[in-house]
Amino acid sequence: MRWLKPLAALGATLALFYLLHFKQGQIPPLGKFLNPFAGFWQNNTTSDEILSDLILPELQDTVHVLWDDRRVPHIFARNNHDLYFAQGYLTAADRLWQMEFQTHAAAGRLSEIVGARALEYDRFRRRIGMVYAAENAVKAMRGNPATLLAVEAYTNGVNAWIRGLEAKRLPFEYKILDYQPEPWTVLKSAILLKFMAWRLTSRNHEIIMSRTRATLGDSLTRVLHPDYPPFMEPIIPAGTRWDFSPHAVKKPQQDFKMMLRDSAHATKNFSAQGSNNWAMAGARTASGYPILCNDPHLTLNLPAIWYEIQLVSPEVNVYGVSLPGAPAVIIGFNQQVAWGVTNSESDVMDWYHLTFKDSTQQQYFYDGAWRATQRRVEEIKIRGGETVRDTIFYTHHGPVVYRNSEKPYDWDIPSGAALRWVAHDSSNELATFMYLNRASNYDDYLSALSFYASPAQNFVFADSSGDIALWHQGRFPLRWEKQGQYLSDGSDPAYDWQGWVPLAQNPHVKNPARGFVSSANQNPVDTNYPYYLGSNYAIFERGGRINAKLAEMKNIAPEDMIALHNDVMNLHARNVLSALLAQLALENFSPDEARAYEELMKWNYENHANAIAPSIFEYWWQDFMDLVWNDELASAYGAIKRPRRDVTVDLILRQPHARYFDMRDTARRETLRDMAELSLRSALRKLTEKWGPLGPAWEWGRTRGTDILHLANIPGMGRRNLLTSGNYTCVNATTKTTGPSWRMVVAFGPQVKAWGIYPGGQSGNPGSQFYDNFVEDWVAGKTYEILYLNSPNSTANRIAGQATLRSAL
């Protein structure tokens, strides 16, 4: 039996070898992961090193790079090729994994990394035509010499970094997920931009609104879901007259009404993520020069969505934030101009119900005849499994995302319907940002916008000569009223988009008499505007608060604008709380209820992290909305859309005896008072059950808080339960997982000055001190003064390091 011991030792050795060299479920091969010379330990020891002087043969000339004390690179190049090559190289050095992971996710390739559990996600991304849209964008990029040069140079710069990447510098996520980076491509940059377009335009309301109309009828649907809701202050000042003759849009003779009885679809009542921007004319500022501000609100992740950078060549000196994976600056400024963006929320996506000849889906009925579909076969590679071939059928409307027999993935998407999306069409949004980067006046700004199609945005503008402006810019379909609000008839040509709103007729304003322009995702125009752009815009509160504050300010300084970015006045609560409190019968209150009442009575309507009243009000309002509308809108057709809070507030203030405040499933007739008392008691019970008795645990920063999760949701690499102020109704629109992704204030003068911050850090490496070093200051409402340089020879004391990149010794 002497052979048993050596055999056991051999078995143990083989088991250890297998454990160290092969992936175990979600655990990476421990040998590679724990290697002291190339494993994850090295991500903590190499992450903060400033690059030394380098030889990069792809360069045409010398490039100088200076890093400031926040690790922002300032790139000085002698030509545009080298500028964007260096941008790609340095961005990859800090954010390579983020760039690749995002584009894998957008392109439907996560299964290559995590296996079959991502198959349905990947199938969905392929089905909506994400790569198809990006391929069309690449064609447009290649047709423009400036963007072609930039995107190819950027791509080559990324690949130069990948080729020289040592194992010890391989980003941590590659090691824990056990895969390697692959070469970057121009298509990947296009995919990234289209992914942003999807995130900002995929507000799908057709199914739920079709059910709503089927339940309530046309008249009541219009009352509860108005195109122009109460209290609204549009982006373009109300009463603006339009001096053009609009294009006629022919409406179908009969509305298409699909009877949607299937309640199995998952429905979502989407709300805008929100953003703010504004610009003040010099007549309103202390300096006499314009000030421009922007804070786009997006889902917050680590690594952060933005990468701060300065790009300088003989043609451009621009500072701002870029998207890791794409060249140029997306939001920023130069010596002469500044610009920022908010999401337009206008409708650029429709769903068309189709009738197929048979289950093969090779033909669909259109304009009285059968028309052939086009097939696109997608190969989805599965890590540890067999490749899946998925056939997607395209119509002249767009791709059929789900067949009649398939269950949609996550979204409220109709089966057997085709997607018409502006972003599928060939366009070159990158050109807009390239030309904005080097713009010097309003005409340059307007020329740059002519390239922009999707996702539609509100572009705010200011320049050093004194102009301010705002354009609601995108490629907007010519629509008849309500077109696209409900499921469209894919067989009737009258439901096709009938052309485009001409660029010159897009909503816009320049140098208005009130001395400022602003947007907060609300309705772009009032009812005087002759085109129908959509109806799912943001509620009035943020826009109303911004306009009110700007209108009352005088001798405005940058500090005033930074304060406005952090404004936490809850205009929703200020409008409705006193009316709700007036409904309460205090004699029926318990001691605990009386304490909650007193908290609300003394509240100043500001959502500060250390205040208790915002928590009580938020829980109360959510329960109030559920109590009023859930039974009222029960439907045989499945979930339907309940009215928004502004419509509900309008009912409380103007129609307190409306029938909606009665509960259908009780014998007695309830009133607004009943709804207020019942919902408050329900809210207080929930707060007590979750947070204990009324006290510090009820503070807003604790009951709501904010999570900034790791992009791949890897535990321990995000920031949870941040004690943030603000709310979705405030200018500081911070929520549980979304918020101001970049705050920027630009003040013109003899020398341009700017301030900015985002919730993250320049490095994508969780082991780096620069991974999330901005987060605490962001939570506190601080903003950093930006170091804007004019020369690579600067001796500013904030410069922390520098390097020279050469093509040869």
Strand 349-353 and strand 369-372: the pairing is unpaired
DSSP per-residue string spanning 501-542: --GGGS-EEES-TTSEEEESSS-SS-TTSSS---S-PPPSHH
pLDDT, tens only, 709-728: 999 999 999 999 999 999 99
Averaged pLDDT, 318-343: 99
Q: Does residue 455 have a cis bond before it (omega within 30 degrees)?
A: yes
Rounded average pLDDT over 701-706: 98
- Look at residue 263 in the predicted model and tell me its pLDDT: 43
Q: Is 162 exposed, middle or buried (0-12, 13-18, 19+ CB in 10 A)?
A: middle
95 close to 107: Cβ distance less than 8 angstroms: no
Average of per-residue pLDDT across 593-619? 98
Distance CA 619, CA 606 (A): 16
% the chain with pLDDT above 70: 91
Mean pLDDT (whole number) for 763-778: 97
* Per-residue pLDDT at 82: 99
The HSE-up count of residue 399 (CA atoms within 13 Å, CB side) is 26
Q: What pLDDT does 808 receive? A: 82
The string over 752-775, giving b where at least 16 C-beta atoms fall within 10 Å of a residue's C-beta and e elsewhere, is bbbbbbbbbbbbbbbbbebbbebb
Q: Looking at the predicted structure, is the pLDDT value of residue 1 above 50?
A: no
The owner of tokens 């010398």 is 62
Neighbours of 427 (CB within 10 A): 25
Interval 647-660 mean pLDDT: 96
Q: Which of 20-24, 189-193, 486-490 has the lowest mean pLDDT?
A: 20-24
Burial of 680 by CB count in 10 Å (0-12 exposed, 13-18 middle, 19+ buried)?
Answer: buried
| Cβ-Cβ contacts under 8 Å for 12 (sequence gap 6 or more) | none
Using CA atoms, how far apart are residues 40 and 36, in angstroms rounded to an integer? 8
Question: How far apart are alpha carbons 37 and 30 in whole angstroms?
Answer: 13
Q: What is the greatest pairwise CA distance in the chain?
A: 101
Sorted by sequence, the CB contacts under 8 Å of residue 16 that are 6+ apart come out as none
Between 63 and 12, the higher pLDDT residue:
63
Q: What is the mean pLDDT of residues 39-52?
A: 59
Q: Identify the band that residue 633 occupies on the pLDDT scale cut at 50, 70 and 90.
A: confident
Residues in contact with 654: Cβ distance below 8 Å, sequence separation at least 6, in sequence order = none
pLDDT score recorded for residue 12: 46
How confident is the model at residue 259, as a pLDDT? 58
Q: Using 50, 70 and 90 to split pLDDT, how confident is the model at 415?
A: confident
**Least confident span in 44-53, 83-92, 239-248, 321-330:** 44-53
Residues 6+ apart with CB under 8 A from 69: 798, 799, 800
**What pLDDT, on a 0 to 100 scale, did the predictor assign at position 51?**
86
| 341 bridge partner residues | 459
Can you tell me the distance from the alpha carbon of 533 to that of 526, in angstroms, rounded to the nearest whole number?
11
Res. 588: pLDDT tops 90: no
319 pairs with which residues across the strands? 310, 333
Please determine, for residue 353, whether its predicted confidence score (pLDDT) is greater than 60: yes
Under the banding of pLDDT at 50, 70 and 90, the label for residue 2 is very low
Q: In sequence order, what are the beta bridge partners of 343?
A: 457
Mean pLDDT of 111-117: 97
DSSP classification of residue 23:
-
d(CA 453, CA 741): 23
Go through the chain and tell me how many residues it has: 809
pTM: 0.93
pLDDT grade for 25, boundaries at 50, 70 and 90 = low
Higher pLDDT, 27 or 571: 571
Comparing CA positions, the residue from 164, 149, 162 lying closest to residue 83 is 149
* Pick from 472, 460, 464: nearest CA to 441: 464
Res 745 pLDDT > 70: yes
**φ, ψ at 543 (rounded to 5°):** -60, -40
* Cα 689 from chain centroid (whole Å): 34
13 pLDDT tier (thresholds 50, 70, 90)? very low
Quote the CA–CA distance of 162 and 95 in Å, as a whole number.
Answer: 12
Confidence check: pLDDT of 153 > 60: yes
What percent of the chain shows pLDDT beyond 90? 84
Give the span between the Cα atoms of 398 and 49, in whole angstroms. Answer: 48
Return the sign of the alpha-carbon dihedral for residues 312, 317, 318, 319.
positive
Using 50, 70 and 90 to split pLDDT, how confident is the model at 268?
Answer: very low
Cis peptide before 57 (omega within 30 of 0): no
Give the model confidence (pLDDT) of 475-513 as tens digits.
999 999 999 999 999 999 999 999 999 999 999 999 999
Q: What is the pLDDT of residue 303?
A: 98
Q: For tokens 């101001």, name the residue.
A: 740
Nearest Cα to 304, choosing from 736, 711, 780?
A: 711
Buried b (16+ CB within 10 A) or exposed e, 257-295: ebebeeeebebbeeebbbbbbbbbbbebbebebbbbbbb
Instruction: Band the pLDDT of 150: cuts 50, 70, 90.
Output: very high
CA dist., res. 317 & res. 173, Å (int): 34
- pLDDT confidence tier of residue 264, bands split at 50, 70 and 90: very low
Taking 70 as the threshold, does the pLDDT of residue 50 lie above it? yes
> Are the CB atoms for 278 and 518 separated by under 8 Å?
yes
> Half-sphere exposure of 325 toward its Cβ, with a 13 Å CA cutoff?
26
Q: What does pLDDT average to over the chain?
A: 92
